Amino acid sequence: MRLNNLQILRGISALLVCCFHFRGDLNFGAQKWGDLLFGKGSIGVPIFFVISGFIMVYTTTKLKGEHSAKNVISFLKKRVIRIIPLYYLLTFAWMILGGSFLLYFKAEGLQRVISSLLFLPQKDQFPVLFLGWSLNYEMLFYLIFAVSLFFKTKRYLFLILFFLTAMVLGKWYHFESSYLNMVTDFKNIYFIIGVLFGLYLSKIRLDNKILQIISILFIVLFAAFFFNFFNFENEFITVVFVSLFVLAFLIFDFFLKVKSSKFLVMLGDISYSIYLSHPFVEIIFKRIHVESPLMLILLFVLKLVVVIIISKILYEILEKRFTNYLKKELLPKY
């Protein structure tokens, strides 16, 4: 079953991150509208994490215990094919367009490039393409998920216990290793929430009318939180609102069968391209200076339109055609 509403949520999450990075265009006047409206736009990243946790369970529940080694290899290949081509392409593009390409061949610069390409976090430094920090977490989750497949029917228990134990250690101890700090980071709770949704969503037994009310309530609560109608600066509270927001869209797909807009689903399809490519749009528009509020709003909207167009092109050429080619060539035929 294609989860169109969850796909729409991907698109929403990617655009929230875009709006977060473009919000400076709307910070005119005393109100600072950009910060007011999209100051929490980075919340799109933990939404992605929850979705990833859910999708991994949803797509692997039929895997049996036999051929576990083949399952692990196939799983890792699929993740690599999905993540790496676009990320590597845009990482190298960022090196060139940033105007400091040669610096990446010196000691610290070269180490940063290698760490970025291997999804290894560096202390106090973002990857070359700064958005890659979230992909470091994604690839960590995929790696541990792949290991969990060796535990067969107990794989989800292993996965949950691994991250919960790591997070407890992270609260008690700060490691010198940036990688260990990532492994024990509280942000990994979002993946576990997604895994739990994948395991227990089907066990919901409520009337559809009640589920409809609950879903709308969850979305309203998230919107109130996002737009600061009430402001809780607490990581646990953020987990709750993000989780309820994702759950609402899962209910739309699995129980309410809500029809979805083709355009919004398309935004979900190109969400990975939106997420990784939107910083390049800032480079395109950086020399455009406008001051009137109306022109600033139009500039903000224009940037989003250009992001969508570029992302659609990247999706069709790279994400769709090239990755499909890699799947045919690299994935097993059994």
pLDDT digits (tens, 9 = 90+) for 35-51: 999 999 999 999 999 99
Better pLDDT: 287 or 89: 89
What is the mean pLDDT of the segment spanning 28-33?
Answer: 83
Residue 125 pairs with which residues in a beta bridge? 122
Can you tell me whether residue 125 is helix, strand or coil? strand
What average pLDDT does the segment 283-309 reach?
Answer: 93
| Calpha distance 153→168 (Å, rounded) | 25
Q: Band the pLDDT of 96: cuts 50, 70, 90.
A: confident
**213: enclosing H helix or E strand:** helix 208-226
285, 299 in Cβ contact below 8 A?
Answer: yes
pLDDT of residue 63: 66
Conformational region of residue 124, where left means phi above 0, alpha means psi within -120 to 50, and beta covers everything else: left
Listed range (77-91, 161-175, 290-304, 318-332) with the worst mean pLDDT = 318-332
Per residue in 171-209, pLDDT (tens digit) is: 998 898 999 999 999 999 999 999 999 999 999 999 999
pLDDT digits (tens, 9 = 90+) for 97-110: 876 777 777 778 88
Q: What is the pTM of this model?
A: 0.95
Say whether pLDDT at 285 is over 70.
Answer: yes
